Amino acid sequence: MATFANPFAPAAYNGVVQRQEEPYLDVDFTYVYDVVLALNQLLVDQVVPIMNDSDFVWRALILSASTGAFRIRFSDAQGYYFSNGYLLSGNFLVGLIPVPWVINPEAQFPAGGRIGVDIQDLTGAQNTIQLLFRGVKRYRLPA
């Protein structure tokens, strides 16, 4: 019988003992991105700025509000995209209920960095959108 490691479980649960203390402290945090798009409007190089006090580890995206369909893609501080193409807003829903879209592996953004957003309305009408970037602020501890 083969055994497999669970990538979502803590290292100790996968049989890795003597885990060293991490040199940082993670505190739950959410960045909010609000935008209103006109009919079929495309916005490129939008920015969700990361605060200067700590790094941000992005773990999930939640579509908090939307008045219609849209497509979106994300990039890191260097301009590298997380996907080859745009993602449709329906991917963040089960039926009509928003569910967290898990970022695996989690993405880390440096203090003072940014999350890049390209977004386009697909409804042909005004579209009000709110996205929640869920994750943690990662504070570095003194050595």
Q: What is the CATH number of domain 24-140?
A: 2.60.120
Cα separation of 102 and 62, whole Å? 9
Of 13 and 127, the structure prediction assigns the larger pLDDT to: 127
Please say whether the dihedral angle defined by the alpha carbons of residues 98, 91, 106 and 15, taken in this order, is positive or negative.
positive
In the chain, what are the domain boundaries? 24-140
pLDDT in tens, 51-106: 999 999 999 999 999 999 999 999 998 889 999 999 999 999 888 888 899 998 89
Cα separation of 121 and 53, whole Å? 33
pTM above 0.85, yes or no: no
Pair type for strands 24-37 and 87-88 = unpaired
DSSP state of 113: -
| HSE, side-chain direction, 13 A CA sphere, residue 27 | 9
